[in-house]
């Protein structure tokens, strides 16, 4: 599958190599708002076509799929345009800025019969499946509580989209995407009710703390922010043991990929599981397995984030309304 890339930012610099090293994938074009940046990027990464403007990428015959690495507020517009141009879509997280936009992306892809996936790579790591199977198989007894913390410490450059409300900024949407994701995956369902409290800066959440209430007395507490050092961990606590992972969103670069099971006797078992989550994610998109479950989960995650954002605004707990979808191609 021939990919074209929209945007030349930080995550593109990382993901382009993952695309180029995945079997069955070629990166044939890169688009930027600036022709100069597109040309520079194309020459750095050996990409054949550099184009100015994102529409030019969609007009390019040598592109079958688009990797969309733009600020969140631009995802809907360009994912829908990509679908309408007949291109498959790999869209960075958060999928959009709200569930309505997320559903619009899904509907456009359904209509055009193209495949789409949110670029939530950790979901595709073999370790994530192992941890989830262990918890869902009763390995920790009855699940009671999930806690998750995802953060990194700014400084940001001026104009950073993460601090711009008009570009879909804020830690709740950006990092909450991961924390809500792990909590819901561990719980195996979406929460019924949520509460969030935010420390704001420039009208976006700089830090957010949240509570999620699930069926069967399962709860989750989440902490995300741009004002604490890098954290990407969670604990799933059950009646007999806990599963703990300190890098679930993306394994630390210089360590073996691991997680731990701590039991009531204080015994700790370490498990290792190496994988290349970005390649697995790309393979999932270009393969022929149904994406319905991933698509549904992305849209439901967005709906939970909608409720959290509403909760922070209204300073009260909010019932979650979870949309359900028809099948994906
Ligand atoms: N999956 C992950 O692990 C991960 C990690 C980091 C980020 N992300 C996600 O990827 C997306 C991009 O994040 P990033 O960190 O790569 O951002 P970034 O470094 O700021 O890059 C964003 C790119 O979008 C383009 N763009 C178009 N309109 C823009 C505008 N008005 N302001 C700023 N940039 C604009 C720019 O490319 P041109 O000017 O060249 O067109 C820019 O380089 C976000 O949704 C983010 O949440 C995902």
> Which CATH number characterizes residue 51's domain?
3.40.50.720
Q: What is the pLDDT of residues 275-328, one digit of tens each?
A: 999 999 999 999 999 999 999 999 999 999 999 999 999 999 999 998 877 655
Query: Is 236 within the bounds of a domain?
Result: yes
The answer on 298 and 185 residing in a single domain is: yes
Q: Has residue 151 got a pLDDT over 60?
A: yes
**Cβ–Cβ < 8 Å for 308, 94:** no
pLDDT band at 32 (very low <50, low <70, confident <90, very high): very high
Tokens standing for 297? 């989960």
pLDDT band at 164 (very low <50, low <70, confident <90, very high): very high
The counts of H helices and E strands in the chain are: 10, 15
Q: What is the pLDDT of residues 99-115, one digit of tens each?
A: 999 999 999 999 999 99
Q: Which of 38, 92, 279 to mutate to test the pocket of ligand 1 (most atoms within 8 A of CB)?
A: 92
**Once rounded to an integer, what is the mean pLDDT over residues 81-102?**
98
Q: What is the pLDDT of residues 249-259, one digit of tens each?
A: 999 998 999 99
Query: Is 214 within the bounds of a domain?
Result: yes
Quote the pLDDT of residue 99.
98
The percent of residues above 90 in pLDDT, for the chain, comes to: 95
Mean pLDDT of the chain: 97
The answer on 138 and 116 residing in a single domain is: no
Specify the 3-state DSSP secondary structure of 88. strand
Query: Is 324 within the bounds of a domain?
Result: no
Atom of ligand 1 nearest to the CA of 37: 40
Domain boundary among the residues 88, 121, 154 is at 121
The answer on 189 and 58 residing in a single domain is: no
The answer on 297 and 164 residing in a single domain is: yes
Query: Is 39 within the bounds of a domain?
Result: yes
Write down the catalytic residue from 87, 93, 111, 142.
93
Burial readout 65-98 (b: 16 or more C-beta within 10 A, e: otherwise): bbbbbbbbbbbbbbbbbbbebebbbbbbbbbbbb
Is 87 an annotated catalytic residue? no
């Amino acid at each position: 599958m021939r990919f074209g890339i929209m945007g030349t930012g930080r995550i593109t610099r990382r993901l382009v190599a993952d695309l180029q090293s995945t079997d069955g994938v070629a990166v044939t074009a890169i688009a930027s708002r600036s022709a100069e940046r597109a040309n520079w990027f194309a020459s750095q990464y050996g990409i054949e076509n550099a184009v100015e403007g994102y529409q030019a990428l969609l007009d390019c015959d040598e592109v079958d799929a688009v990797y969309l690495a733009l600020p969140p507020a631009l995802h809907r517009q360009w994912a829908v345009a990509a679908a309408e141009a007949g291109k498959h879509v790999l869209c960075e997280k958060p999928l959009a800025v709200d569930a309505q936009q997320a559903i619009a992306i899904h509907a456009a892809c359904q209509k055009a019969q193209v495949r789409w996936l949110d670029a939530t790579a950790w979901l595709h790591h073999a370790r994530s499946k192992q941890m989830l199977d262990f918890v869902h198989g009763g390995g920790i007894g009855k699940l009671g509580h999930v806690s998750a913390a995802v953060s990194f410490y700014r400084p940001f450059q001026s104009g950073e989209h993460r601090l711009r409300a008009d570009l879909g900024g804020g830690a709740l949407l950006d990092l909450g995407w991961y924390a809500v994701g792990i909590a819901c995956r561990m719980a195996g369902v979406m929460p019924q009710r949520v509460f969030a409290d935010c420390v704001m800066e420039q009208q976006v959440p700089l830090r957010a703390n949240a509570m999620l209430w699930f069926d069967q007395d399962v709860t989750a507490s989440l902490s995300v922010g741009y004002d604490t050092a890098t954290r990407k961990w969670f604990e799933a606590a059950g009646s007999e043991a806990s599963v703990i992972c300190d890098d679930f969103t993306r394994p630390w670069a210089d360590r073996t990929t691991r997680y731990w099971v701590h039991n009531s006797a204080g015994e700790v078992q370490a498990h290792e599981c190496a994988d290349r989550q970005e390649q697995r994610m790309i393979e999932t998109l270009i393969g022929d397995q149904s994406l319905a479950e991933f698509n549904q989960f992305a849209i439901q995650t967005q709906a939970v984030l909608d409720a959290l954002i509403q909760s922070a605004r209204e300073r009260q707990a909010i019932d979650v309304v979870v949309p359900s979808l028809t099948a994906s191609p």
